[in-house]
Amino acid sequence: MRIADKVSSGRIQSGANKTRAKMSELQSQAATMKRITKPSDDPVGMMRTQSAKTERHINEQYIKNINMAKSLIDTSEQALADVAEVLMRVKELAMGQASDASSNGLTRRTTAVEVDQLFNGLVNVGNRKFGERFLFGGFQTDDTPFSSAGEYLGDDGEVRLEVNKAVYMPVNLPGSKIFMGGELIGEAPWKKEKDEAIDVNKPVVRGPATYEDPNKLDVRGGDSGQAMMPGESADDSKKGINVFRVLKDLGVGLRTDDKAAIQNSLEKIDEAIDQVVVARAELGSRAMNLQSTMENIQKNNIDAKILESNYEDADTFELFTDIKKAQTALDATLTTSGRMIQPTLLDFLR
């Protein structure tokens, strides 16, 4: 049976087109060095590749958040270092004026002027900013947190940034906790138990035949085990030091030449210094936590990139071998078709 020229040319053209399409696909992979250039190349591989890319992009945002948090914490820590220096200078002045051997009324009044300057410097540190944000105002980052008299105008809010999936890190310490003596590290156990404790202002029935008079001494007390008078709460025994109040009291003692008041202020100054040290330790622990989180995210990014590469990247040796095979097949197809289709006058006369 004689095969028509149209059928032969159609088959040859179809084979050549398939070879060209394969060649084009391989050349596209060679240009991008990607095995998957469209979902139809490998649907499962494309899905997993996109999942890995999404995870990497999310991790990059976490890294930006961590860098911002580290900058805020580092700036806050530097501010607290300045506070510690101010308090150390205040302690030095108080120790120098605490006895009559090296001081008198005149030197104490002169020292009071320097204490006033240190007080103003402490207020300026409390009002320090990071960019356009006040560091120690809690959520009130747009308003000055401390007045010139050392009164706190902010709140107890802690600004949190998401540094990992469902992990929120506080990046500030409210001024109420640093300068006014508030609780530093979260909610203390004694605060959590306060709501569960029996109200000391109400009669307490401890059984069918037991009655407690609220006007009597409450021996339940606080965590220290010390008894509390009626109306006194565990909060009062747990409060920290108002740093500004310490400097004000010292200034009054210096101006009035009250040696006893100056001596009593030394213990308060030490407590204020300890309070700042605890705050700096809190910031330091947060910075270490952020660094650890950063390292974990970077490792996850590397793992995601490896997974993405395993599915998406082309094997260079295999790719160029396939290109050579496709080129050889295309050349053979074109050569064969040229030999099969050679129309002459005799071919038309048959």
Q: Which range marks the domain in which residue 206 is found?
A: 189-237
Final residue before a domain boundary, out of 204, 237, 270: 237
Q: Is residue 32 part of a domain?
A: no
Tokens of 59: 């991790």
**59 and 140 part of one domain:** yes
DSSP helix/strand/coil, 204 = strand
Per-residue pLDDT reduced to its tens digit, 70-98 = 999 999 999 999 999 999 999 999 999 98
Percent of the chain scored above 70 by pLDDT?
66
Domains held by the chain: number = 2
Sequence-distant (6+) residues with CB within 8 A of 103 are 96, 97, 111
Position 313 scores a pLDDT of 64
Pairwise CA distance, residues 190 & 222, whole Å = 8
Position 268 scores a pLDDT of 94
**117 and 193 part of one domain:** no
Number of neighbours of residue 69 by Cβ within 10 angstroms? 25
Range scoring the smallest mean pLDDT among 84-88, 184-188, 270-274: 184-188
Per-residue pLDDT reduced to its tens digit, 321-337 = 767 777 777 667 667 66
Residue 256: beta bridge partners? none
Q: Is residue 245 part of a domain?
A: yes
- Beta strands 133-134 and 129-130 are antiparallel
Is the pLDDT at 193 greater than 60, yes or no? no
**233 and 243 part of one domain:** no
Position 210 scores a pLDDT of 42
Position 212 scores a pLDDT of 45
DSSP helix/strand/coil, 245 = helix
What values do phi and psi take at 105, rounded to 5?
-60, -35
Sign (positive or negative) of CA dihedral 4, 6, 9, 13: negative
Pairwise CA distance, residues 171 & 226, whole Å = 36
CATH number of the domain enclosing 308: 1.20.1330.10
Pairwise CA distance, residues 24 & 257, whole Å = 95
Per-residue pLDDT reduced to its tens digit, 17-51 = 676 776 777 666 676 667 777 777 778 877 888 88
The whole-chain average pLDDT of the chain stands at 77
**166 and 54 part of one domain:** yes
First to last CA, the chain: 13
Per-residue pLDDT reduced to its tens digit, 130-172 = 988 999 999 999 999 999 999 999 999 999 999 998 899 999 9
**79 and 141 part of one domain:** yes
